Amino acid sequence: MTLADVQRRLAAAGIEDAAWEARLLAARYTGLSDARLLVMGGEELNAPGLEEAVARRETREPLQYILGEWSFMGLAFSVNPHCLIPRPDTETLVEYAVRHLPKSARVADLCTGSGCIGIAVAHYRPDVTVTAVDLFPETAKVAEENACRLGVSDRFTVQVGDVTKKIFSDGERFSAIVSNPPYITLDEMKDLAPELAFEPRAALTDEGDGLSVIRGVLDTAACHLADGGLLLMEFGAEQGTAVSL
């Protein structure tokens, strides 16, 4: 199988940027650089596992799960189907937090998933400590592993909990609360790209109006955000009015 073969198969499966993804998969399984792959022409790629990887991508399984990691804020995060894939849009939230958190801030990262938000904040702000929360033990384990691999495990702790219920002790306060909660509505789910079917559904939608977990984050902030603290949260483009009420 050549690089051109991989590209053709991905394009036939409806992958929009088939050439780029073909090179990423080929690089992952051959160990060759992107530059080397580009000059190989029609040479065969003798790479164990590449055929299986291409077949998986043809089913529209996300490229990130096949590669096993993905870059976020310049950091390589381990990802698997227990966690949402980190996305570039979320980097805006992290960048704001890094710039505006007070010195020695305590941060709560709710619905942490892979841990990408809290871990990236801790990486770029060595004075900050993060308490992360996720509903699922398997997902919390991914966040813990990423904290270890990225060298912030001494300032990043994870607990399993439901953010729509009481998760912190009375009187516990945080300088900032950050979150990328599930906010896609049930109606919107049917129109999403095929790849989204492979990501954990509970990280995408609350099976309703997309606001129930957001309300839990807001309730938590009302009880546990320090005076003058920051609440940084992602939500849907049409949810601004509902969130601000």
pTM, full prediction: 0.94
Coil, strand or helix: which one is 64?
Answer: helix
- Whether residue 64 has pLDDT greater than 70: yes
Residues linked to residue 231 through DSSP beta bridges, in sequence order: 177
Q: With 0-12 CB in 10 A as exposed, 13-18 as middle and 19+ as buried, what is 44?
A: exposed
State the Cα angle at 84 between 62 and 61, rounded to 5°.
15
Q: In this predicted model, what pLDDT tens digit does every residue of 180-221 receive, in sequence order?
A: 999 999 999 999 999 999 999 999 999 999 999 999 999 999
Q: What pLDDT is stored for residue 245 in this prediction?
A: 63
Which of 11-15, 40-44, 83-87, 220-224 shows the lowest mean pLDDT across its residues? Answer: 40-44
Kindly state the percentage of the chain with pLDDT values over 90: 89
